[in-house]
Amino acid sequence: MRHEINKETEKELFFHNYARLPLAVTHGEGVYLFSSDGTRYLDMISGIGVNALGYDDKRIVEAITRQAKKIIHASNLFMLEPQFRLAEKLLDISGMSKVFFANSGAEAVEAAIKLSRKWASLSGNNDKREVLSLSNCFHGRTYGAMSLTAKAAYTDGFEPLLPATGSIGFNDIDDLEAKISDTTAAVFIEFVQGEGGVHRISPGFVNSLKRLREKHNFLLVADEIQAGCGRTGKFFSYMHFDLSPDLVCLAKPLGGGLPLSAVIGGEKVMDVFTAGNHGTTFGGNPVACAAGLALIDAIYDDNLMERAAGTGEWIQAALQKLASKHRQILEIRQYGLMIGTTVNREASYYVQEALKKQVLINATSKNVIRLLPPLTTTLEEAQQCIDCLDEIFTEET
């Protein structure tokens, strides 16, 4: 029996995990998605930061097709060329030492938690087990990642959480000083928080973190799952600071739309994992790695980091002009093409109103309109989004 693709049959077929938009998508072209009735929608979400090149990029499609014709899966019992080539690129970009490939951001975080605990167990301090994160963060929905995220909306009913985890107040230097100690194994940080409303870590907090790492010898783990691959104007968001993490978690756009993530480690952790400590059946899939190679080449060939910075600044300036006209806008935060606009009501209202005007935006942290457009977005396409928001704010008043 074939079901109609609509909200009613979604309730019949699926666990109720998602608050899906009432939109049946059939295909995408450039920065646009098309619905089953042929309507075209400007996508300023890009698969929640996944589709960095938009849709139907020929380089990604050709890389996937070429590799799929050779071999789709062989497992990590074998050495696969696309894995080797992608690992080389990531190590060259980061200046780090080793790579582990997985399938999703949450899996990358889980691997980094395990590696941190294993590294700490080799330190000689049996009490060095605590893994900390920052308030208002988001690291994923598997148990370890959820324990670091530690928001009631994600954790209620799923307790007990992973032991020896805790939270430091975001940009709270006093709290950082109070909670870091010789029992700290690792601190996980999004240098730009995405789900938390697009907030950047402060330089003062980073400086204190660097000093405390020297004193207490813990691992600094950069969660670049949403902010990585050029979105903030540099390949990794931590590169905006004078700081080198010990581990980097990367995902979302890395596979060009296919499931792929990576944990990249520096010299401090390069020999911690041994055979059998951790693994994955599908991680580092050759087709996904081939797509990842094409993605990274495109980012550099098309100067997309520079474009992200320039287009993001243009959008911020346009939003500031809207803020001078519309009292609903309270604050604008922009880091490349990660843009958060705080408004004076639940942002889900604007998501629904923009959908009626064939523009896709996102709401996060209750009252933040989040834009994560493809890095390929033109100023004309960005203007279409600005015009849409202007109309909604005007109609609302």
Binding annotation for pyridoxal 5'-phosphate: 105-106, 138, 223-226, 281
Residue 87: both structure tokens together: 């690992």
Q: How many angstroms separate the CA atoms of 170 and 39, rounded?
A: 41
Number of neighbouring beta carbons within 10 Å of residue 63: 23
20 phi and psi angles, rounded to 5 deg: -70, 150
Under 8 Å between Cβ of 169 and 175? yes
CA distances from 223 to 66, 76, 198, 319, 335 (A): 31, 24, 14, 28, 16
Please give the helix or strand (H or E) that residue 219 lies within, else none.
strand 219-223
Strand, helix or coil at 30?
strand
| Contact call for residues 25 and 49 (beta carbons, < 8 A) | no
Residue 212 to residue 154: CA distance in whole angstroms:
30
Neighbours of 319 (CB within 10 A): 22
Whole-number Å distance between alpha carbons of 42 and 54: 11
Q: How far apart are CA 183 and CA 73, in angstroms?
A: 41
Positions at the binding site:
105-106, 138, 141, 223-226, 280-281
String of DSSP letters for 243-283? ---SEEEE-GGGGBTBS-EEEEE-GGGTTT--TTSS--SST
Binding annotation for N(2)-acetyl-L-ornithine: 141, 280
d(CA 148, CA 137): 8
Q: How far is CA 330 from CA 195, 314, 345, in A?
A: 18, 18, 10
Phi, psi of 183 (to 5 degrees): -90, 0
Closest CA to 344 of 385, 396, 298, 382: 396
Nearest to 87 by CA among 287, 268, 283, 262: 262
- φ and ψ of 106, to 5 deg: -60, -40
How many residues does this entry show for the chain?
A: 397
How far is it, in rounded angstroms, from Cα 163 to Cα 181?
17
